[in-house]
Amino acid sequence: MGFRVNAPPVSVVWWRQDLRLADHPALAAAVRRGAVIPVVVWNPAAEGGWAPGSASRWWWHHSLVRLDEALRRRGSRLVVRIGAAADVLPKICQETGATAVYWNRRYEPAAMAHDSHVKDRLKAVGLHAESFNGALLLEPWTVANQSGRPFQVFTPFWRKCLTQLPPPPPLAAPELIPAPERWPRSESLPALKLLPRKPWDGGLKAAWVPGEDGAHQALGAFGQGGWRGYTENRNRPDLPGTSRLSPHLHFGEITPRQIWAHLNDVAARAGVSDWQQQQFVTELGWREFSHHLLYHFPQTTDAPLRAEFGHFPWREDAVGLRLWQRGETGYPIVDAGMRELWATGWMHNRVRMIVASFLVKDLMLPWQAGARWFWDTLVDADLAQNTLGWQWSAGCGADAAPYFRIFNPVSQGEKFDPAGDYVRRWVPELARLPIPFLHAPWTASPAIRAAAGVVLGRGYPAPVVDHAQRRQAALDAFKLLRVRRESGAASG
């Protein structure tokens, strides 16, 4: 069957980590041109790189359901296919008469290589292929230091970015998305098998509303004023002090341009002129920085940016790793964080830093093992941000915490969870322990522990390591590394 000669041109829009309709440059370009076929192609294995973990797959499913509903409200629908995009996209064009494919860019090394291969394949068969920036304030190659090289330190990076901002204003969602004359066949979303077979996702369901509407609800709630108390509250896991926008940003349900515009409006109404200098905006800068680093140093997902850390004497300890993963280390703030992660797919940033320090410095296990666990369990698992966070925590990345800065899990707990509400919530075995002992239950007398119903080693574990000893061992290992580096430099 042929296509009407004077029918409007048809374009495919290929959705990936941009699961929204507003501020979607690829969709806007396709709608300007004519009819649109919205497509998602599922086959992460074919893309190389890190395939989505379990929590991410859960999010994918729900966000795709929401995207399909939003498309249907505008006269369209989501076409779902399984296979390699380089084969599937030309086939859809052939089936429907579409002559162009549009998408928003991704920046992870494997994704970029994959997408440029797809672009070549589309062009080779005479199709128009065009990509856009829909995810970052500034793309990684547009920011450079005075010698034209990438930044490795955050502050000058962000200072430079601010001279190149504000970003362009966000685009509105199209009111109507013109449909093609003929729809290609589509799989159902359940056919992607993204949901867990055993239903472990109750905690995720209770904690999150995936999708574009959920993202804007989160921004609205935070934008009410949360962002102004952010500087004081952002380190307190016991308070709702941060935006919880991270999974929405990762999946592109909201863009940093939209957040920027929202804050600009809120600040203008409140008469606040220095909002760009506020800490929350700086955190969006860290997100940009992580993409800048991963683009310029693609090996850092698996290898330390500072090469000498390749010789660090990491331990092998499957039991220790398991105890950390399950939140059974005997250090309440660490265990609370790991259990929050397991239950909700998210962990507060301060606690991420504490548990990461504990894994690499107290347990002396490789940061890559922690990065892999986070990758599987976080709903906001993001290759750039996760890599930056782990390399920073291990002391081996750009602008990293110095290796000798070793978080003390007891004093961190006392400082950032002062009334113990966070620990009590996630480690209910300790709920009745009085606050002076809550972050170090082994310091309570047996009588106090008995009165609180705590028996160390039964119910709640005794500490898996002695922090003071392990701190010293980690420092000694680091000293050896430094000696090795300096003697290498001297002889080299």
Q: Is residue 324 annotated as a catalytic residue, yes or no?
A: no
Q: How far is the CB of 119 from ligand FAD (least distance, A)?
A: 27
Contacts 24+ apart (CB under 8 A), 321-326: 321/359, 321/363, 321/365, 321/369, 323/461, 323/464, 324/355, 324/358, 324/359, 324/363, 324/365, 324/370, 325/373
Q: Which of 139, 275, 286, 414 is catalytic?
A: 286
By beta-carbon proximity to ligand FAD, the closer residue of 68 and 417 is 417
By beta-carbon proximity to ligand FAD, the closer residue of 129 and 259 is 259
Q: Is residue 283 annotated as a catalytic residue, yes or no?
A: yes
By beta-carbon proximity to ligand FAD, the closer residue of 244 and 470 is 244
The token pair that represents 79 in the structure block: 């076409």
The token pair that represents 163 in the structure block: 């001279």
Q: Which of 43, 187, 349, 414 is catalytic?
A: 349
Q: How far is the CB of 406 from ligand FAD (least distance, A)?
A: 15
Q: How far is the CB of 352 from ligand FAD (least distance, A)?
A: 4
Q: How far is the CB of 168 from ligand FAD (least distance, A)?
A: 20
Q: ω into residue 199 within 30 of 0, thus cis?
A: no
Q: Is residue 286 annotated as a catalytic residue, yes or no?
A: yes
By beta-carbon proximity to ligand FAD, the closer residue of 58 and 374 is 374
Q: Which of 50, 324, 346, 367 is catalytic?
A: 367
Q: Is residue 50 annotated as a catalytic residue, yes or no?
A: no
Applying CB under 6 A, the residues found at the interface with ligand FAD are 234, 242-246, 249-250, 283-284, 286-287, 290, 349, 352-353, 356, 374, 378, 380-382, 385-386, 388-390, 393
Q: How far is the CB of 287 from ligand FAD (least distance, A)?
A: 4
Whether the CB-CB separation of 470 and 362 falls below 8 Å is answered with yes
Whether the CB-CB separation of 380 and 247 falls below 8 Å is answered with yes
Of 407, 424, 408, 416, residue with least CA distance to 339: 424
By beta-carbon proximity to ligand FAD, the closer residue of 389 and 461 is 389
By beta-carbon proximity to ligand FAD, the closer residue of 96 and 386 is 386
By beta-carbon proximity to ligand FAD, the closer residue of 300 and 393 is 393
Q: How far is the CB of 268 from ligand FAD (least distance, A)?
A: 21
By beta-carbon proximity to ligand FAD, the closer residue of 275 and 286 is 286
Q: Is residue 390 annotated as a catalytic residue, yes or no?
A: yes
Q: Which of 283, 308, 328, 414 is catalytic?
A: 283
Q: Which of 390, 392, 408, 426 is catalytic?
A: 390
By beta-carbon proximity to ligand FAD, the closer residue of 76 and 393 is 393
**Nearest-CB residue for ligand FAD:** 389
Q: Is residue 60 annotated as a catalytic residue, yes or no?
A: no
Whether the CB-CB separation of 413 and 439 falls below 8 Å is answered with yes
Q: What is the rounded CA–CA span in Å between residue 48 and residue 256?
A: 27
Question: Hey, which residues are catalytic here?
Answer: 283, 286, 314, 349, 367, 390
